[in-house]
Amino acid sequence: MNAVSPPPRPGAAGFLARYESLIGALPGDSALRAAAAAAFRAAGLPGGGPGRRIEAWKYTALRPLADMLFAPAQAPDIAEPPTLAGAAAKVVFVNGAYRAAMSAPPAFFARFADRPDFGTLSWPDREPMTALNTMLAADGMTLDIPANTDGGTVHLASIGVGPTAFHPRHLVRLAPGASLTLLETANGTGPYLHNPVTEIHVGAGARLIHVRLQNEDIAAFGLSTLYADIAEHGTYDSFSLNLGGRIARAEIRATLSGPHATAHLNAAQLLTGTQHSDFTTVVRHAEPHGASRQTVKNVLAGQSRGVFQGRIEVARDAQKTDGYQMNQALLLSPDAEMDCKPELEIFADDVKCSHGATIGALDADQIFYLRSRGVPAAEARAILVRAFLTEAIDAVADDAIRALLEAGIAGWWDNQAA
């Protein structure tokens, strides 16, 4: 084969050209990839150019991504990522490729590249970024926790070195009665696209604690989509801290598919400069007695823009559902913007669902109180912002993980002060 690879092209055309150059070389179901490519060709990058507006992407347009030129992913030399205290197992991906030398995988780990499995929950036909991932996914992490087993804590680390684009495919399955704590970190350097799709199955009575620390490079695009299915009496307890990225979006679609299932989708977003970060959730209560909780806090400085879209869906049969969602935003600068769309879609009558949203500045009275007691202005603001975030962070029970999140927040705040 002496085929000369065509010059790279920006935007959707670039990704499609890349796919065409790789047909046959990518692992797994090629028909599924072809269908995804057709869907992506039809949809394009949301907001990446003129064309039909997608309501789900109302507040986030990928125009800047469409202008990027990406080279095929390399395997650069990088420093060892930080190790989480107490985490026995670590799985590291560099530019989307598994890096064995840096990893200490658990027994129930498999590589997507070795054992490709696209799962059953994702919507490549309806979600353009999922279509892009399905079309180009080359590697990823598969975890299968056997029934009634405690999988301990696993640290999934992604490191990007731009300019490149990678689309990892992760699959986490907890058999009935299993439990796992999954810490996911994402960081890197330079302009890159990290576009992971993660599928999670929480079996009957199983429990997954999922903490995500997104601290991508300020020039990078971090667009993640997560599909979760929670069976009877299962619990999916997630917390996302979004700090990084030029344009970032974390989309979670969780379905409570068995009675008495529970989902917690808590998050905090801290943004500055010209960052744009979008936290989008859809919680679907399909069966009775489900409970879902979401507390989402946003702190916006500079000219940053925060987006929260959260929908709670309650199906006809999902009686006795208890759904709650709270979104709060602090605007620290006159140029920051918050856009929020909390939605309720209720088809059952015996339910209790509510949402609340507030957007505003720090309370002048509270600042005055602290300053009158000799606290400098910057510190007073820091104290109040910290207090504002505490409610969200408190949802994370694991001390070591919470310390990591707190360090992330402290680092963000130091950057603000500097």
Partner 1 sequence: MSVAAETLDAVQSVTESGYKWGFETNIEMDLAPKGLNEDIIRLISERKEEPSWMLDWRLKAYAAWLKMEEPEWARVDHPPIDYQDLHYYAAPKKKNGPKSLDEVDPELLKMYEKLGIPLKERAILAGVDPDEVEERQIAVDAVFDSVSVATTFQETLKKSGVIFCPISEAVRNHPDLVKQYIGSVVPIGDNYFAALNSAVFTDGSFVYIPKGVRCPMELSTYFRINARNTGQFERTLIIAEAGAHVSYLEGCTAPQRDENQLHAAVVELVAMDDASIKYSTVQNWYPGDADGKGGIYNFVTKRGACRGARSKISWTQVETGSAITWKYPSCVLLGEDSVGEFYSVAVTTNHQQADTGTKMIHIGKGSRSTVVSKGISAGRSNNTYRGLVRMAKTADNARNFTQCDSLLIGAACGAHTVPYIESRNPTAKVEHEATTSKIAEDQLFYCRQRGLSEEDAVNLIVNGFCKDVLKELPMEFAVEAQKLLAVSLEGSVG
Residue numbers at the binding site for partner 1 (CB under 8 A):
55, 316, 319, 329, 331-334, 336-361
CB closer to partner 1, 63 vs 316? 316
In 3D space, the residue among 228, 32, 63 whose CA is nearest the CA of residue 125 turns out to be 32
Distance in Å, CB of 329 to partner 1, minimum: 7
105, 156 Cβ separation under 8 angstroms: no
CB closer to partner 1, 82 vs 356? 356
Distance in Å, CB of 348 to partner 1, minimum: 7
> What residues contact residue 173 under an 8 Å CB cut-off, 6+ apart?
142, 143, 144, 145, 200, 201, 203
Distance in Å, CB of 283 to partner 1, minimum: 14
CB closer to partner 1, 136 vs 300? 300
Q: What are phi and psi of 377, to 5 degrees?
A: -55, -50
Q: What is the DSSP string of 340-385?
A: EEEEEEE--SS-EEEEEEEEE---HHHHHHHHHTT--HHHHHHHHH
Strands 247-256 and 276-285: parallel
CB closer to partner 1, 68 vs 332? 332
Strands 192-194 and 97-98: unpaired
CA distance 216 to 214: 6
Distance in Å, CB of 57 to partner 1, minimum: 14
N-to-C CA span, the chain: 54
CB closer to partner 1, 80 vs 345? 345
CB closer to partner 1, 55 vs 365? 55
Distance in Å, CB of 380 to partner 1, minimum: 16
Distance in Å, CB of 219 to partner 1, minimum: 25
